[in-house]
C-alpha cells in the first residue's frame, strides 16, 4: 500500500471526526471557520471532506473550538486490540497496513499534543 493511500485514509478518518464533533456541538461550518481563523466556511468544508491537508496546529485549534481534547479524536490506545478505533477499523475492513498506520498516527498525535500541555 502506498503512503498516499495511507495518508488519504488518515485524512478521511480525521475529517469524519471533525464533522461528527462539529455537528454534535451544533456548530456551523461558518462558525467553526471563524473560530479557528479561516476566512471562509469552505476551508472547513474541505477539511471535513478530507480534501485539505490538516496540520497539527489547525487540529489543535479545531479541538479547542469544539471543546474536545485531542484524545477524543484518537480513542484510547492503551487497550490495544480492544480500542474503539481498532474495532471500527476492522469493521470497515481496512487492510492491516492501513490499520497500523492509523494507529501509529493516533499515538504520534496524542504524544505531540500531550507534550504541548
Domain range for residue 37? Answer: 3-116
pLDDT the model gives residue 40 = 94
CATH number of the domain where residue 85 is located:
1.10.260.40
User: Cα–Cα distance between 95 and 90 in angstroms, integer?
Assistant: 8
Q: For residue 80, what pLDDT is reported? A: 47
Please state the separation of Cα 19 from the chain's center in Å. Answer: 9
pLDDT of residue 76: 53
The pLDDT score that the predictor gives to residue 74 is 73
Q: What is the pLDDT of residues 94-107, one digit of tens each?
A: 666 777 777 778 77
Give the chain's residues under pLDDT 70: 1-2, 75-96, 115-117
Give residue-wise pLDDT tens across range 83-93. 556 656 655 66
Residue with cell 507534550: 115
Q: Of 104, 6, 52, which Cα lies nearest the Cα of 19?
A: 52
Number of domains in the chain: 1
pLDDT at 82: 39
DSSP string, 37-62: T-SSHHHHHHHHTT-S---HHHHHHH
* Among the listed residues 15, 114, 11, the one whose alpha carbon sits nearest the alpha carbon of residue 69: 114
Amino acid at each position: 500500500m502506498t503512503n498516499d493511500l495511507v495518508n488519504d485514509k488518515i485524512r478521511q478518518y480525521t475529517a469524519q471526526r471533525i464533522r461528527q464533533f462539529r455537528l454534535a456541538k451544533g456548530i456551523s461550518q461558518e462558525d467553526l471557520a471563524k473560530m479557528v481563523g479561516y476566512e471562509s466556511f469552505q476551508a472547513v468544508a474541505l477539511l471535513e471532506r478530507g480534501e485539505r491537508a490538516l496540520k497539527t496546529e489547525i487540529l489543535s485549534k479545531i479541538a479547542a473550538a469544539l471543546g474536545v481534547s485531542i484524545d477524543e479524536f484518537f480513542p484510547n490506545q492503551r487497550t490495544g486490540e480492544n480500542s474503539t478505533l481498532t474495532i471500527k477499523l476492522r469493521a470497515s475492513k481496512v487492510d492491516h497496513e492501513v490499520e497500523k498506520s492509523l494507529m501509529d498516527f493516533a499515538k504520534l498525535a496524542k504524544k505531540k499534543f500531550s507534550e504541548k500541555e
